[in-house]
Amino acid sequence: MSQDPSAAAIEGLIPGETTRIIAALIRIAGSFDLAEDALQEAVTAAVAHWPCSGVPKNPAAWLTAVAQRKLIDYGRRAQTHRNHVDELSRQISQGHGSHEDPTDSPETWYPDDRLRLIFTCCHPALNVEARIALTLRTVGRLTTPEIARAFLIPESTLAQRIVRAKNKILEARIPYEVPSRDRLPERLDGVLAVIYLIFNEGYAATTGEQLVRTDLATDAIRLARMTAELLPDEPEVRGLLALMLLHDARRAARISARGELVPLEEQDRTAWDRAQIRDGLEHLGTAMKKRRPGQYQVQAAIAALHAQAGTSADTNWDEIAALYGELVRLTPTPVVALNHAVAIAMARGADEGLARIDRLHRFRPLATYALYHAARADLLRRLGRRAEAREAYKEALSLTSNRVEQAYIRRRLAAFG
């Protein structure tokens, strides 16, 4: 039985299109909730009318026009001051022509409405958890249950985060705008950090039964593509997009047929997605032409060296160590220093790398960081210091919540007999 064309048309509105619509509605209404309610009513109207009247030539414009009318209705029902209703009507009609026939309505969003939405959802006045939840819900158009499942938290908890974030935006009068050019770099850093946090949770899940959550990684990449489309002259946006594409290209090789973690050096490189690698390299090349290096571009350059190595033995660890040295300069965090130490171990020998890692122990956050102990255990294993390696693996295991990673560490421990 074939699908109803009207239902197919609604389902065919990719998230990018519905994001355009919701962004335009929020600009007009000044309210996330009113905008979402209006869009939902427009969809309901489409489900009722399209089977009889036929799918309009421009379904997105039809939904936008109907949703805009709903916003005016809300204002009148709430006995909003007449001048506010008139202002809504003016904004809706100004420059967009008549909406008497929504089938023929032109697109009713401004090119930067989605950009305004991204920066509003990622405003520094919101805590990180709220930014992630609101970005996925409003920009990514994921449902509350989908986001809750992805982060393994109760739906009620996730819903409360979203409600609090929306209330914060209203109470703090956070402007729905793109920052001025002089404030863009610091605000853009926050946007990119949120997108990367979403990707990282998809690439290597903190907890749960699965190592990879493909939906989250895919959503982060889509958000980065959208941001790159809207800010084509910002090299760090393309740098982040390249980084995620290059990492995600290895997805199929990171888990064995038995569901076990496969470390980078043991992966079947023929299973890597070469088309995605080429895409990532192209975005990295475009970013580097701007000659404004940043942390995401450097990380993408490191990922590119891994992606271009035919075998693990072909990896240019000297260049990777040098790039990590530059990354330490740009972002001097303990985790980056740890990665630098591991790269040095691969380039110059496990002894030198281990000495650097041991010096990092003074950074308190690393004491409870599972990958610190796992990296140290691996170098001790390579050096034949089995008893010390076993203790380091045990410490890493005690700090790991993901079942796939736990199973990998247990296999390492079992190898000691």
Give pLDDT tens digits for 317-370.
999 999 999 999 999 999 999 999 999 999 999 999 999 999 998 888 899 999
| Start-to-end Cα distance in the chain | 59
Tell whether 233 is covered by a domain: no
- Cβ of 213: how many Cβ atoms within 10 Å? 20
Range of the domain at 94: 5-104
Residue 90: pLDDT band by 50, 70, 90 thresholds?
low
pLDDT for 14 equals 60
Residue 7: pLDDT band by 50, 70, 90 thresholds?
low
**How distant, in Å, are the alpha carbons of 8, 216, 339 from that of 15?**
14, 14, 36
pLDDT for 86 equals 53
pLDDT for 110 equals 42
207: three-class secondary structure by DSSP: strand
Cα separation, 236 vs 364, in Å, equals: 30
Tell whether 299 is covered by a domain: no
**How distant, in Å, are the alpha carbons of 233, 238, 241 from that of 290?**
8, 11, 15
Cα separation, 137 vs 175, in Å, equals: 19
- Which residues lie below 8 Å from residue 124, measured CB to CB, with a gap of 6+? 187, 190
Tens digit of pLDDT for each residue in 347-362?
999 999 999 999 998 8
From its phi and psi, is residue 258 left (phi > 0), alpha (psi between -120 and 50) or beta?
alpha
Residue 79: pLDDT band by 50, 70, 90 thresholds?
low
**Residue 103 clears pLDDT 70, i.e. is over it:** no
Residue 279: pLDDT band by 50, 70, 90 thresholds?
very high
Average pLDDT score, the chain = 87
pLDDT for 12 equals 66
- Cβ of 410: how many Cβ atoms within 10 Å? 12
Tell whether 26 is covered by a domain: yes
Residue reference for tokens 């958000």: 223
Tell whether 199 is covered by a domain: no
Tell whether 46 is covered by a domain: yes
**Residue 169 clears pLDDT 60, i.e. is over it:** yes
**Residue 149 clears pLDDT 50, i.e. is over it:** yes
From its phi and psi, is residue 259 left (phi > 0), alpha (psi between -120 and 50) or beta?
left
Tell whether 243 is covered by a domain: no
Tell how far CA 233 is from the center of its chain. 20
Tell whether 81 is covered by a domain: yes
Cβ proximity of 190 and 122 under 8 Å: yes
Rounded to an integer, the average pLDDT of 207-230 is 84
pLDDT for 186 equals 79
Rounded to an integer, the average pLDDT of 401-406 is 91
pLDDT for 159 equals 93
More confident residue, 173 or 277: 277
**Residue 190 clears pLDDT 80, i.e. is over it:** yes
Mode of pairing for the β-strands spanning 207-208 and 401-402: parallel
Out of 53-57, 84-88, 234-238, least confident range: 84-88
**Residue 27 clears pLDDT 80, i.e. is over it:** yes
Cα separation, 76 vs 82, in Å, equals: 8
Give me the number of domains the chain comprises. Answer: 1
**Residue 413 clears pLDDT 80, i.e. is over it:** yes
**Residue 161 clears pLDDT 90, i.e. is over it:** yes
**Any idea what the Cα angle at residue 179 is, between residues 174 and 185, rounded to 5°?**
125
Tell whether 12 is covered by a domain: yes
**Residue 88 clears pLDDT 60, i.e. is over it:** no
Cβ proximity of 177 and 119 under 8 Å: yes
pLDDT for 372 equals 96
Rounded to an integer, the average pLDDT of 46-73 is 88
Cβ proximity of 217 and 203 under 8 Å: yes
**How distant, in Å, are the alpha carbons of 16, 23, 37, 363 from that of 34?**
20, 12, 5, 47
pLDDT for 101 equals 46
